Amino acid sequence: MNPFSPDITLTRIAPTPSGFLHIGNILSFVITHSIAQKHQAKIMLRIDDLDQGRLREEYLDDIFDCLDFLEIPVDLGPKNKTEFRQEYSQIHRFPLYAEAINQLKANDLLYACDCSRKKINAQSNKGSYPQICRTKSLPLEAENVNWRLKTDNTAEIQIIEENQPFKSILPAQITDFVIRKKDKSPSYQLASLVDDIHFGTNIIIRGKDLYDSTLAQLYLSELIPANSFHSTNFHHHDLVKAPSGRKLSKSEGASSIKTMRESGQTKQAIYRQLGQYMGFQDPIGNLTEFIQAYHSKK
């Protein structure tokens, strides 16, 4: 079902339709574009709508509107909401997620965990899971349980970062990470990995904050049916912070592109702001200028 040529270098941008896109999302898209160009990679739009409860029509519309308004092209993936619903929604890939989960289950790599977040936080530091349920043998088919992976945090993981292979291990923070959530839907780690394998993504560009997820996904890729995820070329870019030093995210109050547009900001004004976040010397006004400035700064 892979719709693309296996020979292309493919990366993706993967927004979630659970809010209006903000300047931090756009920054990640244009950084992806800059790095993709260096690798002559095609870019796929992959909208991660796994969390159907938080999905809203206007958030889906907003993704296409923003890409359009800011003239950020994508090579592959849905061109509009109809195409997205018909062909690309993660709903269509639930059988693939189930197949991967069943394989892990058949190999006795999963266990049920009924811990609340509160309980986990009380017994661990930095949110890592202290394996409370690993030896409890709760039935997997019980209601309201997470399915966790029995991880081996001493196992070597090979990762390719910017063409350079090196070895790592699974960090403590993602010990026994969740594979299937309490609502029976696949976890982000599982779905993202299965999607990347399905579409043949072979370069993944993401912020350094997702480095642990990369290790989790590489680890997981060795436990599901044969795939070439281990040969993915990763690029973890620096995180850009607001002038206040805070993270550029919705929860930190970053403005949505929608709000900026409604207050009369032009495309050029938004790019100028992106350039300021990046610390570019000269003002920029479009994607091409962003890409040029990104590479000349390096």
Q: Which is nearer to Zn ion, 19 or 130 (CB)?
A: 130
| Bridge partners for 207 per DSSP | 237
227 contacts 197 by C-beta, under 8 angstroms: yes
Task: Examine residue 242 and tell whether it contacts Zn ion (CB under 5 A).
Answer: no
At closest approach, how far in Å is the CB of 212 from Zn ion?
A: 20
Tokens of 35: 């790095």
The reply on whether position 179 binds Zn ion by CB under 5 A is no
Listed ranges 45-53, 69-77, 126-134, 197-205: which one lies at the site for Zn ion (CB under 5 A): 126-134
Taking contact as CB under 5 A, which single stretch among the options 42-50, 131-139, 230-238, 285-293 is the one that binds Zn ion? 131-139
291 is an interface residue for Zn ion by CB under 5 A: no
In the complex with Zn ion, the residue whose CB is nearer, 113 or 149, is 113
Q: Using the rule CB under 5 A, give the single segment among 90-98, 109-117, 180-188, 277-285 that binds Zn ion.
A: 109-117
Count interface residues toward Zn ion (CB under 5 A). 4
Which of 254, 255, 246, 177 lies closest to 218 in space, CA to CA?
A: 177
Distance from the Cα of residue 37 to its chain's centroid: 20
| Cβ contact 203:41 at 8 Å | yes
Q: Should residue 115 be labelled a site residue for Zn ion when binding is judged by CB under 5 A?
A: yes
Rounded Cα distance, 1 and 10, in Å: 16
Q: Does 132 bind Zn ion (CB under 5 A)?
A: yes
Residues linked to residue 204 through DSSP beta bridges, in sequence order: 234
Instruction: Determine the interface stretch with Zn ion among 32-40, 54-62, 108-116, 236-244 (rule: CB under 5 A).
Output: 108-116
Nearer to Zn ion, 114 or 212 (CB): 114
Interface map 65-104 toward Zn ion (x if CB under 5 A): ----------------------------------------
Rounded to a whole number of angstroms, the minimum distance from the CB of residue 80 to Zn ion is: 42
The least CB distance from residue 130 to Zn ion, in Å, is 9
Q: Give yes or no for residue 130 binding Zn ion (CB under 5 A).
A: no
List, edge to edge, every strand of the sheet that includes 178-180.
110-113, 146-149, 178-180
The single residue among 100, 113, 178, 203 that binds Zn ion, judged by CB under 5 A, is 113
Of 133, 193, 274, 287, the one binding Zn ion by CB under 5 A: 133
Tell me: does residue 131 bind Zn ion (CB under 5 A).
Answer: no
- Applying CB under 5 A, the residues found at the interface with Zn ion are 113, 115, 132-133
